[in-house]
Chain A
Amino acid sequence: MTALDRVARRWGRLIVGFPPYVWLLIFFLVPFLIVIKISLSQAVMGIPPYTPLLEWGEGAVLTIRIALGSFGTLFSDELYAFAYLNSLRLAAIATFCCLLLGYPAAYAIARSSHSVRNLLLLLVALPFWTSFLIRVYAWIGILKTEGLLNGLLLWLGIIDTPLQILETDLAVLIGMVYSYLPFMVLPLFATLEKMDLSLLEAAADLGCRPFQAFISVTLPLSLPGIVAGSLLVFIPAVGEFVIPDLLGGPDTLMIGKILWAEFFDNRDWPVASAVAVAMLILLVVPVMVFQRLQGRATEGTR
């Protein structure tokens, strides 16, 4: 390889790898910094509806004004704490349900024959071909008092009066499990499919019954998939806005809805921004710690 090749290769790599980072920088990091900036200001009437962070005063004095009032609001009004906790609770339950439903599905797909496997994977991905909004909207038709589900249960004689499912936390849970299930199934499938089946034969050979072999071999080896799938479900579920807005009721407190209300109804940009920043910190820190521990535990399993 000549020196020219080396230079070309290095530049080639930079050129290929650069655009995604530039994209993230411009459209994620910069806006996020702006959100942090807004969260540190005070709400005012006007355009924009918040005080500036930096100000040039008389005699070339640079004034930096950091207002922590918005974050204070988060602690003083317990509405926010409730909303955070409820978001975490619903997201955790939804993640757990996705895992319970998704693991057997992923296992079955990973162990199916090659021709069937592609079809099954296609079916998992099929819902993405319709708009997310429309699919969630369709659940209203299923869950409402005179909807399909209640109609079926009444017809079967299981219930006498229609159940109130729509506008409850349960409806939100159903919607989230439905929407996020593919995000659990796909990473689980990827790890289960990679697994060397001779390991299960070895376990059987060493005197291990099938269920015990699943517990002591398959499950620990699929941990990376469980973690990846859980994060992919849990993180967006915590900040979910559309599903609680459409399927939840007025008492369904979720942080995504609060954020919306602060921003569009109260027009309090600083508090809305503080809610967003707090949510990110609440999610990112534990996830990072968890992933580091996970990385150490599963070191060398592939």
Chain B
Amino acid sequence: MTQTVAQRPTFSPWTDPESVPLIRFEGVSKRFGDFVAVDQVDLSIHAGEFFSLLGASGCGKTTLLRMLAGFETPTSGRIFIDGTDVSAIPPYERPVNMMFQSYALFPHMTVEQNVAFGLKQDGLPKAQIREKVRDVLDLVQMSRFGGRKPHQLSGGQRQRVALARCLAKEPKVLLLDEPLAALDRQLRERTQLELVGIQERVGITFVMVTHDQGEAMTMSSRIAVMNSGCLEQVGTPVEIYEYPGTRFVADFIGAANMFEGVVASDSDDLLVVTCPELESDLTISHGGSVPVGAPVTVMVRPEKMVVQRDRPSEGMNGVKGIVADIAYLGDVSIYHISLPSGRRVEVLRTNLRHTGEQELTWEDEVHLAWHPANAMVLTR
């Protein structure tokens, strides 16, 4: 179970030590007065990636993106794009383009004029501009609206025009600041996959800022999780979710049940952790090497546990509790199990039966069970 993910040949230049990253942040910090928005960030992004900066508002992700675009200058550290230190290069000379959260379409220009704007600055001949404008508007399926002004378009259409305006410049890197935040949910989900499709077609490196973890998981090749100016973890969506590096990441991405404890023994790749609030010790089968006696957190995702009436079989982890709450979501139900210590644990259960009547109900005495391979040990 542990290492069966991603065995097919996939796009993963970051695992190749020979590959030279397209974008490199070297010890980049940004302070606004006393406030440290970005703190000593080292980060490499490779050509062709769809890279996401994920975090809550105020975590510094937008500042990092704006430094890449050139709207902010780092207080310290350096930023390289394609081998060039861009720290002193103004935005209008950088080989990057940004799609703004507000889209920032010029209200006094038509769709075509908006898209042509960047090309005109490059001094391209008129015929070539016209051809490029037509091509990118085709790509985002907006050719029919070339003569309209932005206020005559819907939110989704404006988003496409903003994307087209950036793509027309054929930048080395395209920066997206919460590109889908202004769209309603249905449209957003449809646009997510469309955006990935366009990125694969044009082959431009995308760097996206988002606060929506679902969006980041769906679209990205890799995600950098940020917390108060620092990078918490950088990895593929699977790595971030299944192997979170810190308690913050485990908690921020998806739901997590966490038990504080102390390492009791470490043998045969089986780590035993004693948790004061649990009756029995927990076993984890891929703990790495953690010294005995070290304080750790055992993390189990709600969908990786089973809730059952019977005592779990030998070799499984088991915890006894009472069903305190059931949140019925249709496809799944979330069971809130109250442990003897008073602690609540979340378990996800697929509603297999086609009936409103489920086999477990409130106040039932139940056992939670999970395989040692399905838990994670967090030391940070």
Contact = CB atoms under 8 A, between A and B. Distances in A.
A202 B106 contact: yes
Interface string B98-138: 10101011111000000001100110000000000000000
Contact of B91 (A201, A221, A300): A201
A206 B117 contact: yes
Given A300-B149, A300-B152, A205 B106 contact: no
A203 interface: yes
Nearest to B91: A204
B121 A221 contact: no
B100 A202 contact: yes
Interface string A186-216: 0000000000101101111111110010001
B98 A205 contact: yes
A266 interface: no
Contacts of B169: 206-207
Contacts of B90: 204
A302 B122 contact: no
B100 A201 contact: yes
A220 B108 CA distance: 7
Contacts of A298: 108
Most-contacted residue by chain A among B70, B91, B100, B108 (CB, 10 A): B108
Contacts of B98: 201-202, 205
B69 interface: yes
A205 B151 contact: no
Most-contacted residue by chain B among A198, A202, A203, A220 (CB, 10 A): A202
A302 to B, nearest CB: 7
A186 to B, nearest CB: 22
B362 interface: no
A125 B20 CA distance: 60
A202 B91 CA distance: 9
Nearest to A202: B104
A299 B107 CA distance: 9
Given A217-B106, A301-B107, A207 B122 contact: yes
A65 to B, nearest CB: 54
Contacts of B104: 196, 198-199, 201-202
Interface of A: 196, 198-199, 201-209, 212, 216-217, 220-221, 298-302
Closest 4 CB pairs of A and B: A206-B118, A207-B121, A300-B151, A202-B104
Given A204-B71, A212-B121, A300-B150, 13 more contacts: A199-B104, A201-B69, A202-B105, A202-B106, A204-B70, A205-B96, A206-B169, A207-B121, A208-B92, A209-B92, A216-B117, A298-B108, A301-B108
